[in-house]
Amino acid sequence: MVLISKQSIREYGKGLALIVILLIVWEGIALLIQNNYILPRLGEILSVLLQPAAPVLGGESLIQNTIQSLKEVLTGFLCAAAIAIPLGLLIGWSKEVQKYLNPTIQILRPVPPIAWMPFAIAWFGIGFNSILFIIGMGAFFPILINTVDGVQGVRLRWIEVADTFHATTFEKLRTVILPGALPVIWTGLRVSFGVAWMCVVAAEMLPGTTAGLGYLIMYAYNLGQLQVIGAGMIIIGIIGLGADILFRAGQERLFGWQGRE
């Protein structure tokens, strides 16, 4: 899968073409209007990106800010998964549990994670824990919903096979339900990671934060340094893309059987 063939270069080329065009248009307009407060030149953004270890605007470096954000995302994401997957297995397995929990879940699900911010600050104070809570809230539901769907999509026949061998409920969960639902759970994790990444940036924009890419963007905004904002956005985008590629590669490797039964 990782082999770079002529064909895959051509496929990537199709996607890259639009990016190149957008960059040219950007640079063209920036040259025309000559106003750094509206549209900074690409060169200025690039010069920020090319010194990732240097302090930015008198604060932490790009690398340090990125690591801070990644730490928050990964912790929040993993906490959310640790709760959402077992809960999803339970809800998917038991129609009765689903009846009790579903209304609550469906009411909480559409609430934007950032709306929890005042509560988060009141409960956990300013800083890491509050951000974790916000990210967790965002990451939780895609994993939960997909786990429930995954479990409910497991073929009845597979469970019957386990039944003919007198499997206990726990054995069925471990040997059939979990592996059978895993591809869909994985999709939930992929979606969830993207949401978590969006949440971290938003959460860091709130007062009291001192590091992270979201914080950097907000800080640069206050100082009118649009090239730093551009650099921050590019890093966020690239990390999001990278995570998605990793999840997709994992999907292909782990669940190659999907759709080919």
Partner 1 sequence: MMEPVLSLDGIKKTFRDSEKSCPALAGVSFDVAAREIVCIMGPSGCGKSTLLRIIGGLDYADAGRIDQTSGNKDGKPSAAMVFQDHALFPWLTVYENIVYGLRLSVQNLAEEEIGKRAESLLDLTHLNAFALSYPHQLSGGMKQRASVARALAIKPSVLLMDEPFSALDTFTRRELEDEVLRIRQDLKTTFLMVTHNPEEAIYLADRIVILSGRPAVVSDILQIDLPYPRDPADPAFIRIREQVTRMIQGKA
Residues that bind partner 1 (CB under 8 A): 157-158, 160-167, 171, 175-176, 179-180, 182, 255-258, 260-261
* Six token digits for residue 158: 């597979």
- State the nearest-atom distance from the C-beta of 158 to partner 1, in Å: 6
Residue 121 or residue 177: which is nearer to partner 1 going by CB? 177
Residue 10 or residue 166: which is nearer to partner 1 going by CB? 166
Residue 11 or residue 163: which is nearer to partner 1 going by CB? 163
Residue 6 or residue 157: which is nearer to partner 1 going by CB? 157
DSSP state of 176: I
Q: Do 77 and 135 meet the contact criterion of CB atoms below 8 Å apart?
A: yes
- State the nearest-atom distance from the C-beta of 159 to partner 1, in Å: 10
- State the nearest-atom distance from the C-beta of 153 to partner 1, in Å: 13
Q: In which residue are the tokens 């929890």 written? A: 116
- State the nearest-atom distance from the C-beta of 166 to partner 1, in Å: 6
Burial class (CB in 10 A: 0-12, 13-18, 19+), 106: exposed
Distance CA 119, CA 143 (A): 23
Task: End-to-end CA distance of the chain: give it in Å, rounded.
Answer: 20
- State the nearest-atom distance from the C-beta of 136 to partner 1, in Å: 29
Distances (CA, A) of 195 to 63, 134, 135, 142: 22, 11, 8, 9
Q: In which residue are the tokens 């790009």 written? A: 62
